[in-house]
């Protein structure tokens, strides 16, 4: 049995089961989308046809899930999210499972998301990468890049701090609100999603070069936040807490002010200018 997204709900058979593969949830992720299309108020023919064509294409690929590689599965899900054919909250729940298959798919999905998201910051990332370009090659070039990154740490100007804060918040909005929707999850599930997000950022050398300028020098770093991965995990988790504090109506006693958030940045080895810009972004609009 295969996922049949185009069959009306009353006649739809249960979603397909693909053994232990996390993509067995694909039927659940597309469930209900046919009703959404049918409920459109007097849609233009071209719009309705386009929506149906997208769903048919997505459903056809999902039926061949056994033959897809890990990257192709991640691409299918990201395409489904972008075309509004996959429920982002259910996807977050599925990908954050502790099974090995789900964790591998989550990492592939996060890296694929990052490769697309970075295009919106391409000029900034290219400029950051320019300093390491030249005629150097081999091990000498690698040593030079590592030295360059060590020298940049903690040396961000006010403008660079603002840029880096904008960039991190933009990445968080794109991943946690658009690529997935992180709601009603257990603490360990949230942690796995943050870890995948950070891993995707770390894998981008140009992006890491930018963000490293807003990190404290290695001598000034706190013991619990020494590596770039630890620091980015810390600020991502703290920013999610800030979002809840600022925008959740159920939180009556506010924990964070701009000053407190800046001071907290020191405990995770980040500069105050960077933290202030993150605070301003999140206060202006939720993630």
Phi and psi (nearest 5°) for 204?
-95, 100
Token duo for residue 164: 């880096």
- Average pLDDT of the segment spanning 36-43: 45
pLDDT tens-digit readout, 264-282: 999 999 999 999 999 999 9
- Average pLDDT of the segment spanning 235-264: 93
The full set of domains in the chain, from first to last, is: 9-86 (no CATH), 115-284 (1.10.1000.11)
What is the rounded distance in angstroms from the CA atom of residue 59 to the CA atom of residue 37?
Answer: 15
Instruction: Out of 144-148, 177-181, 212-216, 266-270, pick the least confident.
Output: 144-148
Q: How many beta carbons lie within 10 A of that of residue 165, not counting itself?
A: 27
Phi and psi (nearest 5°) for 96?
-85, 5
The C-alpha torsion from 162 through 211 and 261 to 188, rounded to 10°, is 140
What is the chain's mean pLDDT, rounded?
Answer: 78
- Average pLDDT of the segment spanning 158-169: 90
Residue % of the chain over a pLDDT of 90:
53
**pTM confidence score:** 0.76
Contacts of 250 (CB under 8 A, 6+ apart): none
The C-alpha torsion from 237 through 238 and 240 to 246, rounded to 10°, is 170
In angstroms and rounded to an integer, the radius of gyration of the C-alpha atoms of the chain is 21
Token duo for residue 81: 């999210």
What pLDDT sits at residue 22? 57
pLDDT at 2 over 60: no
pLDDT at 255 over 60: yes
What pLDDT sits at residue 233? 97
**21 or 83, which is more confident:** 83
């Amino acid at each position: 049995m295969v996922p049949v997204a185009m069959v009306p709900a009353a006649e739809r058979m249960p979603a397909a089961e693909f053994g232990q593969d996390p993509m067995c949830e694909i039927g659940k992720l597309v469930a209900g989308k046919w009703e959404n299309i049918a409920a459109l108020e007097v849609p233009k023919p071209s719009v309705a046809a386009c929506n149906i064509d997208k769903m048919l294409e997505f459903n056809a690929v999902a039926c061949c899930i056994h033959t897809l590689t890990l990257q192709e599965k991640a691409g299918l899900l990201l395409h489904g999210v972008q075309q509004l054919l996959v429920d982002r909250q259910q996807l977050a729940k599925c990908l954050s499972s502790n099974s090995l298959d789900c964790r591998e798919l989550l990492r592939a999905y996060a890296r694929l998301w990052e490769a697309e998201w970075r295009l919106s910051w391409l000029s900034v990332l290219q400029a950051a990468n320019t300093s390491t370009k030249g005629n150097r090659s081999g091990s000498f070039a690698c040593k030079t890049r590592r030295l360059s990154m060590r020298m940049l740490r903690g040396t961000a100007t006010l403008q660079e701090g603002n840029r880096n804060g904008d960039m991190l918040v933009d990445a968080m909005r794109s991943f946690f609100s658009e690529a997935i929707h992180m709601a009603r999850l257990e603490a360990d599930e949230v942690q796995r999603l943050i870890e995948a997000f950070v891993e995707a950022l770390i894998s981008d050398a140009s992006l890491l070069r930018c963000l490293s300028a807003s990190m404290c020098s290695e001598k000034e770093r706190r013991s619990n936040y020494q590596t770039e991965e630890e620091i980015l995990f810390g600020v991502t988790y703290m920013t999610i807490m800030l979002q809840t504090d600022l925008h959740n109506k159920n939180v009556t006693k506010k924990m964070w002010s701009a000053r407190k958030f800046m001071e907290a940045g020191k405990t995770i080895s980040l500069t105050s200018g960077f933290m202030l810009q993150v605070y301003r972004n999140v206060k202006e609009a939720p993630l």
